Each structure stands twice: as structure tokens, then as C-alpha cells.
Structure 1
Amino acid sequence: MDLAFSVGQVQPQVGLKGNALQGNLRRKAPTRSLPGREASRQEAPGKGALAGFAAAAVAVARGLRRRIRRRQGGQAVGTLERTAESLGWDVEGKPILKDRVEKALERGGLDGIALKQNKQWPTKGEVLGAIPKDCLVKETGRSLAHAAASTLQVLLCGYLAWKYIPMTTAAIPLWILYAVAQGTIATGPWVIGHECGHNAFCNEQWLQTLVGYTLHTALMVPYFSWQRSHAVHHSKTNHMSEGETHVPRVQKGDTNKYTTMAKSVGQGFVAGTRMITHLVLGWPAYILAGATGGPAYGKTNHLWPFTPFSNGKKDLFPGVWKQKVLLSDVGIVGMTALLMWWAKHSGLASVFALYLAPLMVTNCWLVLYTWLQHTDVDIPHFDKENWTWVKGAFHTVDRPYGPVLDYLHHKIGSTHVAHHVCSAIPFYKARKATEALKEKFPNFYLYDPTPVHKALWRVSSRCTAVQKAEGNNGMYIFT
């Protein structure tokens, strides 16, 4: 079931459009030169001048892109002229593999860093040792202040809508705007609950559990169930069989249903369809059926960890976690009863407009963040023999969400690499940890400056299935 957590075709930055020009920025110019070009220049001096201006424009674009990389991502940008061969791929006599790798380079925004072969990976101890010690210090007062601010923002937005937007058909456009705004704001408390689930909120366990359980239950999230499955996701990031959430399908043969669909109705239709199914249906599909979870766990359900679920080779909710799942259900049942009481007294339309519609937007944000943190055309997954914790952590990617979303969502998308390296870092110290990782591991840290809406379109349209690539790194790359 290919529904939950994933996302389109983008050209990385600098105002340049078109795959051909982007390819020129990535590859050596001689491979793009055409026979007879010199003769045409001699015959038409005007064209030579135009070519000179074009070459100058390309040079300026390269300089701008290097500066963007240094300022925004700290990526290693020694050269932009990436090819499959320069990244260590053995593609001689393998035109299909060569084409796949070079298409990933053209479409992606990471300059081939994630696809480079035979890298000398640091140890887990070396990676964790790069995190400044003070980044691990949790400040209870500061965490509570952020939790209170996010909660008050949601309550204020809801109050203003209840007070000033009439419950009429004519006001539907205003209610749509409210749903988008409130759903976006409510993602903040969601992230705070996520902090609690990671033991990153405070040292007082009872307080941390109380805050996390309350905030997640208010957003219809089974707190302990998701805490467990999300911990598995962190422990097996980008693992093809034991990963949890956003584990891609393996393509058998030369095509899959989405590439076939693209040929008949267009790539845009594929992107639009997958964005709807993932962003709208993805979260309930994951909670109720384990959609995009790793095959090792079989079909799973975050509300019922018994038969007919819990049928995989590995149990997603082993031992005491089964009881914790049921404890999560107590909160969900209580929240459902509260909503039913509200609907009985104020009407279903009021509940939908003020709560359910914004909740759908919050769920969209959750799926979007998780999808883009671990998926793109130039980010590989790994088989059991070649996966390591370090590879998983460093195949997480940070993206530019801007100051407003970073404030509202506590930098969940722009400091996610550091979060995967050490999930106990409070979000308000993740920026410092990120800078330390960029400085210590510039050839492993991933930052894609592609605007998020373009990255979403690229991932939804292009990241439909993977195949294992020939080579000794055990990489599964998107077709």
C-alpha cells in the first residue's frame, strides 16, 4: 500500500530553468559540445558574441550557486561537474545504470554527495562526539515556555475564528484559510509532543510524558504507539527491510505502475495523484495499516497490536509496548468522546470547521516533513548487508523552510540531520549541533537548497520505486 509519507521535479535554485541547462552546470562542457560548432562561430561572428554572453552567464550562475551552497548548506562544492564516473560508479557497458545515476544528478539538489561510492564512513562514536556537550542539556523552563507559546497560538487562532467567522456557506473561503493557518500553527504542539517522545523535552520524566501524551492526544495521535514506531524509524533510517515509514517500493523489471501512468497521462498527473494520496491519506493509512512501513514488520496498526496485525518477521510493538498501545487508545477514545459531545451541542459543522479541517492540514505537514527528510531522487536506501546506523543518520536531509515555519514548527525540517544523529537534543539547541556536524563532516552532511514546494513536486513525481544498483555499496536508488 503506497500511501503514507513521500514527495517532485525541481530545478535547484539560481533562477536557471530546464534540465539541459542544469545538466550543463553539473557536467563538463566538452561532453555537451556539438560537431561543427567552431566552424559555425567563424561563419557567424554575431553568434559567437551571443555564445560569449551565454558562457559568461553560466559562469556567473556557477559562482552564485557555489555561494548559495556555502552560505545555506555548507556542502562540499569543489566541483559542480558531477558524472556517474566521477562519483565512483562503474557504469562501463551499463547504459541503464549510467542513465539512472545521471538523471538523479540532473534532477536532485545534493551535487551527488549522497550517491558517491566507497566513502570512508566515520564511526558512530565519532559522529556523536562531534555534538557539543551543552547541546544535550535540557532546560525545563525553556521547553515549557515553547510548549505554552505553541498551545496558546492554537487557542488564540481558534478563538478568533469562532468569534468572528460566521458558520455560513458564504464564509467557506474564510474557513478554508483558517484551516490552513490553524493546521500550520497546530503543527507546533505536534512537534513539542514529538520532542517529549524522544526524551528531549526535560529531565522530569513524569512531566515530559504528561506534556507529550496531552498534546499528541489532543491531535488524535496515539502517543506511546507512535513513540515506539518512530524510535524504530530512527534506529533503522533508510533501511530497505527494517526501516519504518517511507520505505520505498522495489521495482521489478524495467517499469512500475507510476512510470506506465506517466506515459499515458503525464508526469504531472502522477505527481498530483501521489501528493493527494500521501498528504491527505498518508497519516491514517500509516496509523491504521502501517503503509510505507518496512516489510519486516508486516501489516501493523498503532491502535491494536494483536491479531490480525503483528504478523511480520519482527514485532513492531513487542512486550510491554502492547500495553502502552492500549494506554494510548485510552486517550484517543477520550478525545473522540469529547468531539462527539462537542458535535452534539454545537453541530458537526462546527467541529469540522474549527477542529477536523485544521487537523487534516496538520497531518499533511507531518507527512510532508517526514517524506522530504528521507526521500529524494538522489538519496539512496540500503540493503541489510550494507546499512549502518551512521549511513542512515547521514542520509537525512535538511531543507530551507524559512523563518516563519522554523519558528512555528521548531526547526523540525531545517535541523533534522542533527535530530537523527542524536534525537535527545532539544530543538532549541539543534542549530548549534547542525553547525558542528557541517563543520566536522562536510562530505556527509546533506542540505538541499531547493525550495520546499519544488522538492515536494520532484519527490512525488519521481520517487516512485527503487532498484538495487550494481556495485559494492548496496544502494537502492530511484528509477
Structure 2
Amino acid sequence: MDKKTEFPTLTELKHSIPNECFESNLGLSLYYTVRAIFNASASVALVYAARSTPFIADSTVLNALVCALYIYVQGVIFWGFFTVGHDCGHSSFSRYHSINFIVGCIMHSAILTPFESWRITHRHHHKNTGNVDKDEIFYPHRGPDDHQDVRQWVYTLGGAWFVYLKVGYAPRTMNHFNPWDPLLIRRASAVIASIASWCAAAAGIAYLTYTYGFAKMGLYYFAPLFVFASFLVITTFLHHNDEATPWYGDAEWNYVKGNLSSVDRSYGWFVDNLSHNIGTHQVHHLFPIIPHYKLHDATAHFAAKYPHLVRKSSEPIISAFFKTAQLYVKYGAVPVNAQHFTLGEAASSATKSA
């Protein structure tokens, strides 16, 4: 796709996807919730049992390998926690607001994410995806508001997620823990309730840390939490950035163009399964009401009808991330009056003028 592409309307795009793809199933949504909790609990039990056996306990190398494998797998499972809450935030988990709120708070608080304030800023991201002037995070910076130091956050992986929760992404800053932030104040009571849930989870984690020590909690909880946050940063960044991903100025942007700029990526069967198909991002962005377990089917129908609009990358994730991050940090500054921007074009222009 390029800037001359003719885009269908959102209604036309919706007609390419069967109606049943837009219908959530509460029983199935709860199944994935219970499955994620079971997987997390089973992982803890299995690694504890494995490390208690003399065969592994007496081997530094085997113990380290078991711990590393656990941290990775549990991090992916925590990412699945996030995706369940993510469905709750979009009301694709169920059509019952109270159930969405309760499950969302439980699943997100378990991974130290304030559900309601995240839900609000994430919806703001969906409403402005691909808009240089209004998007939420990992957008190129406009002219005099160039913040290369902020773009460098992407290199901190999971660290960028926790910093974003506290201060937003400059120059559009906000605090997910402040119910009176201008973006949150209309839902202040719900934000306060979800922050209370976050505080309860944080208190429980603090108690467990005090009881069992930081070393054990570092292994069983904090290290996987960082892996989850790193996956979240990598996927959020790569779903909205590559060399050819178009960004639009506010005057040129519209919902369809902006959300079609999202990039589908696979993270391998194992990760895709435990993270609940988060890589099927284009159709999710167009129609966030579609539950995660119907995204593959919906994407297939969309691709069959509009193959020229599909934006998908099969590039290996790690190499894609570091290559694109380097482009983003170095060239992610949009000229003041530009209404169309890609990192590839910016890099090419810089090379020619050098």
C-alpha cells in the first residue's frame, strides 16, 4: 500500500467478515481465563518440583536452564493474562460490562497493570492509530517536539512499559495512576476502583516478597513480569512500526487508513497460542469488538476480500525489532508540515542529504 491507495469504508470492510466473528462467547472467554490461571499455577508448581530434585538441584547448569525456561514461559503466560484483560477492555470478552470490569481488574492487577486507566488510554490509541499528532505511544515525533531521548525508551524493553504507565509518552504525557488526569477524569470512579485492585495485588506481592525473599519472588514473579512487559513493548512497537508503515498527519488521517497501517506478525505457534493471537493485529484494530479466538477466521475473510490491503511481516521478530528500533530512534522525527511519513523514506532522505 502507498499513499495513493484507495481505501474502502469501514462498513465495506465489515461486510467482508461474517457476522459470527463479531459475537463473543462468555463460556469460551472464561475458559481462556481459567486456562491462563491454570498454566501460570502449573508452571510454578512444575519448576518448584523440578528444582527440588537432586538431579537438577545439584547441577548449576541444569538449574539455570530450568529457571530460564520457566521465566520465559511464565512471561508468555503473563502476556496471555494481559490479552484476556485486553479483550475485557474492548468488551470483546463478553457483552456484560460488570463481568468485563471484574475479570479485567483481576487479570491486569495480577501483572501490575491498572485496568481502567489502561483501557481508556488504549481506546484512545485505537481511535487515533497511525496519527502522528494524536496516537498514544511509539509514534514519530513532530518537528519541534522531537524527543529522541524518549524514542530510546524502546531499547529498555519491559522498562518502557512501566515508565509509560507512570508518565505517558512525551510530548503527550499522562499518569495512569492519577484518576484526575484529563484523559481519565470522566471515569474517575472506575479508575479509582481499578487502582484499588492494583494496590491489593501489589500489597499481596509485597507480602509474598517479604515472606519468601526477593530472590524467590524475583525468579517466580518479577523476572517473568519483565519478560511479559518486554513482549508487550516489542509487539506494540512492531505492530505499528516497520520501514514502510505509513504515519499520517491529522489533516490526512482517517480511522480506516490509520488502523490499516497496523502490521500482522506471528511469534510462533507456542507464543501465539499462549498470548491469544495478539499478532492478528490489523483486523483487531479495525474491529476491536472481535474476540481473540475469532481473529484468525476474521483475518482470513478480510485478506480474501482485500488482499491488497493486507500488511503482514514474516521477518524474524528479534531482528525486525532491533532494525526498526534503530530506524525509529534515529529517523523518527516528522517534518512540521508533513502529512505522510515512513521511517524508510526518512532514512533514505537523510542518506541522500548527507
For the criterion TM > 0.5, the same-fold answer is yes
For 1:120, the equivalent position in structure 2 comes to 6
- Report the Cα offset of residue 404 of structure 1: 1.4
Residues 1:221 and 2:113 are matched in the alignment: yes
- Report the Cα offset of residue 343 of structure 1: 2.0
For 1:444, the equivalent position in structure 2 comes to 309
Query: 1:33-432 residue pairs with structure 2 within 5 A?
Result: 113=1, 116-165=2-51, 170=60, 171-250=63-142, 276-277=155-156, 279-291=157-169, 295=171, 298-306=172-180, 310=181, 315-319=182-186, 321-413=187-279, 415-432=280-297
Letter of the 2:17 partner, please give it: I
**What is the distance in 1 between the residues matched to 2:142 and 2:97?**
41
Q: Which has the higher contact order (CA 8 A, sep 6+)?
A: 1
Cα displacement string for residues 120-167 of structure 1 (whole angstroms, at most 9, x for unaligned residues): 221222222222101011111111112111211111001122333269
**What is the distance in 2 between the residues matched to 1:383 and 1:289?**
24
Cα displacement string for residues 90-135 of structure 1 (whole angstroms, at most 9, x for unaligned residues): xxxxxxxxxxxxxxxxxxxxxxx2xx23222212222222221010
**What TM-score comes out, normalization by structure 2 length?**
0.87
- Report the Cα offset of residue 251 of structure 1: 5.6
User: Structure 1 435/453 Cα, relative in aligned 2: closer, same or farther at 3 Å?
Assistant: same
1:463 is paired with a residue whose SS is: helix
**What is the distance in 2 between the residues matched to 1:207 and 1:217?**
15
Asked if 2 retains the 8 angstrom alpha-carbon contact of 1:200 and 1:424, the reply is yes
Letter of the 1:205 partner, please give it: H
1:189 is paired with a residue whose SS is: helix
User: Structure 1 475/469 Cα, relative in aligned 2: closer, same or farther at 3 Å?
Assistant: farther
- Report the Cα offset of residue 458 of structure 1: 1.6
**What is the distance in 2 between the residues matched to 1:204 and 1:193?**
14
Cα displacement string for residues 36-58 of structure 1 (whole angstroms, at most 9, x for unaligned residues): xxxxxxxxxxxxxxxxxxxxxxx
- Report the Cα offset of residue 454 of structure 1: 2.1
Letter of the 2:315 partner, please give it: T
- Report the Cα offset of residue 212 of structure 1: 1.5
Asked if 2 retains the 8 angstrom alpha-carbon contact of 1:274 and 1:460, the reply is no
Letter of the 1:158 partner, please give it: V
User: Structure 1 445/384 Cα, relative in aligned 2: closer, same or farther at 3 Å?
Assistant: same
Q: Which has the larger radius of gyration?
A: 1
User: Structure 1 165/214 Cα, relative in aligned 2: closer, same or farther at 3 Å?
Assistant: same
2:312 is paired with a residue whose SS is: coil
**What is the distance in 2 between the residues matched to 1:372 and 1:380?**
13
Asked if 2 retains the 8 angstrom alpha-carbon contact of 1:238 and 1:380, the reply is yes
- Report the Cα offset of residue 185 of structure 1: 2.1
- Report the Cα offset of residue 305 of structure 1: 3.8
User: Structure 1 449/238 Cα, relative in aligned 2: closer, same or farther at 3 Å?
Assistant: same
- Report the Cα offset of residue 446 of structure 1: 0.7
**Structure 2 unpaired stretches of 5+:** 347-354
**What is the distance in 2 between the residues matched to 1:257 and 1:466?**
8
Aligned pairs, number: 335
1:142 is paired with a residue whose SS is: helix
User: Structure 1 169/347 Cα, relative in aligned 2: closer, same or farther at 3 Å?
Assistant: farther
**What is the distance in 1 between the residues matched to 2:294 and 2:66?**
37
Cα displacement string for residues 199-228 of structure 1 (whole angstroms, at most 9, x for unaligned residues): 011223322222211111111110101011
User: Structure 1 475/153 Cα, relative in aligned 2: closer, same or farther at 3 Å?
Assistant: same
Letter of the 2:108 partner, please give it: H
User: Structure 1 275/318 Cα, relative in aligned 2: closer, same or farther at 3 Å?
Assistant: closer
**Structure 1 unpaired stretches of 5+:** 1-112, 259-270
Asked if 1 retains the 8 angstrom alpha-carbon contact of 2:116 and 2:190, the reply is yes
Letter of the 2:292 partner, please give it: F
Identical aligned pairs, as a percentage? Answer: 27
1:153 is paired with a residue whose SS is: helix
- Report the Cα offset of residue 257 of structure 1: 6.1
Letter of the 2:177 partner, please give it: L
1:246 is paired with a residue whose SS is: coil
1:443 is paired with a residue whose SS is: helix
2:334 is paired with a residue whose SS is: strand
User: Structure 1 257/139 Cα, relative in aligned 2: closer, same or farther at 3 Å?
Assistant: closer
- Report the Cα offset of residue 274 of structure 1: 6.0
**What is the distance in 2 between the residues matched to 1:203 and 1:274?**
36
